[in-house]
Structures are given as C-alpha cells and as structure tokens.
Amino acid sequence: MQLPLVLFPGVIPAERFSVADAGPASCLPSRSRRKAIAARLWYAERSQSAADAFLAELDHGIESISEASDRWPLFVHDTRRYLFHRFPFQIVYRVANDH
C-alpha cells in the first residue's frame, strides 16, 4: 500500500512512498524527514529522553497508520490525520487508490 505521509505543524505537499519498503521513520518523504530531524534535535537540546520519546511517538504513529490506515479520522482534501499524544505534531496522509 502506498501512503503519502506529512509530519507537520504546518501544511507541506505530500510525496509518495511505500511503508513496506523501509523502517517507519526512514519511509517519510524527504521534507517530512527533515522536519522530524529538526524536531528531534530541538528536543535533544532540552532533553535526550524527550527526543527519544518524540521518535518513539513518530514510529508508533507510522506503524499504526500502516496497520490500519482507515482508522484515523478524515481531515481536509481527502486526507486523514494522526495526532501525536505528547507532542504538538501530526501525521497527515492520504491512502492511495489501488485502481
């Protein structure tokens, strides 16, 4: 299944990738990966345990979406949204049609 994921506090264009081809965080589109790295570095400057928790939350979100992509609520423009529980981030994604 192809899922474009976007990690953001703001909206950026989604890119396509396959969650089956790589580990959770490595399957993010390059722009989203840069945002995730920047967020992890910001948390690491303040607390290594917070940085580790951020990455764990990111991995958990991607894994949850890949297991059941329709579980998360509809958002805008045919996307769905997974909200982080402990951090002010979200993953916005669109399930690609197999047709």
Beta 80-83 vs 5-8: how paired, if at all?
unpaired
91 strand-pairing partners: 7, 82
Residue-wise pLDDT for 37-93, tens only, equals 888 899 999 999 999 999 999 889 988 988 888 898 998 888 888 999 999 888 888
Here the tokens at position 85 are: 């529980």
Angle, alpha carbons 11-67-41 (nearest 5°):
45
Tokens 């506090």 found at: 9
The Cα–Cα gap between 19 and 50 comes to 25
Report which DSSP code applies to 86.
Answer: S
User: Is it the case that residue 5 has pLDDT exceeding 50?
Assistant: no
Residue 95, pLDDT score: 80
Residue-wise pLDDT for 11-41, tens only, equals 333 343 333 333 445 456 677 778 888 888 9
